[in-house]
Structure 1
């Protein structure tokens, strides 16, 4: 496991995120996995992590890793982990996540944290004019937009904020929520829609802390896909150059900045904050 305490030691911060119930989608790999590892060391005893993804084997491997005793690990901190193998595009998948969260909840929980991380790049090998199949587009939007809206609504319904309990909702966003990338029409559309969704939530629910966090160009499987399959030559070259020049970020580096934001808790609710803003 990466040493998140080492990454955070240089930052004067509050010590923890409290006794939390933290739900993380897309937790089995990449940035979602890094978030789970980081949160495990920053919540207090009695907390629960609900880790959701479609890959059961990877989730259970992460659970076993987190449950081991050691500095910055859930086992050391008295934190329980629950895994939910679920397809968030299906109603039963969302129900399974919320039901597991309800069963894990106790009245001693003082902070509900939802990290909407699950998502996909989509087909970046084609341009906008080729997307004539409505079913294909609907399928993409179901995973990348509808699921995060419906899960967020279900979590807020199950755990409404009250004076004794904080609630934080995080959307893993992207520069693509703000800027158009040729041949990335699905990804840009999905990220832009999610961004606005959570900005609206921030306006509607002043007692909920909402953050759109853009983690930057991460060294993940999605980045490999981007630099391999992107149709637009300029975008493809940009990602290839970042990789060749060692300019990609590790998930741990970016996640440490996200944890800093959450610990300080001074951001404007609903704001879009890019890692390069920090």
Structure 2
């Protein structure tokens, strides 16, 4: 038994007691009365000069007690209705809390299994001349990965690798939607190479000497298994400044790539789908 049930039980007990008392009074009211006395009193009529009406002997105390108990029972019934209403309110509040808990559990479950596409690493390689095999350029291929537990469908991709002067600010990649539309399925745990970007030997020297700043950034949109319900696409972004710490003509070339650093650049992520 809960503490909130006690008032309801008390009200029901009082109602039952009232019913029993009404029944008992009704039985007591069956005492026979001399009919001649009743007839003489009824024939006399009400007394003049009295403000209080005169009743016949049939209006006994038992009738008044019955009416009083009926009023008490009515009051108790009203109290019972109030308690029932409170019970309904608490029941509805409990049901709403259960619905919210189920919704939260569903969101948590979806968050654990849905797809998450983001930057993984950059694949690098050197481009050599056909005549003498000298290094003429360097290739940078951003690689994204689906770290979620369900597949994702890539819908839009954009990659750029600009060279800026020292006075120019870092690129703000909160641009409008742009890029090439694609339709590629990216399974859970799989990677995908974005478009290659190239840095010539002269450009690499300018970055190494601090004359230019090099950035590698990208933007993409994808859908996961929940996109039909959300009616929305998800977005990934990345922006890195490329630092070259080793002379571009350094040999072996592997040592040159080990000296390349990608430093994350903060940007304003204000896209509504992110």
TM-score range (shorter-chain normalised) is: under 0.3
Higher Cα Rg, which structure: 2
Using structure 1 for the length normalisation, give the TM-score: 0.22
| TM-score relative to the length of structure 2 | 0.22
Determine which structure has greater relative contact order: mean sequence separation of CA pairs < 8 Å that are 6+ residues apart, divided by chain length.
1
Normalized per residue, which structure has more helix? 1
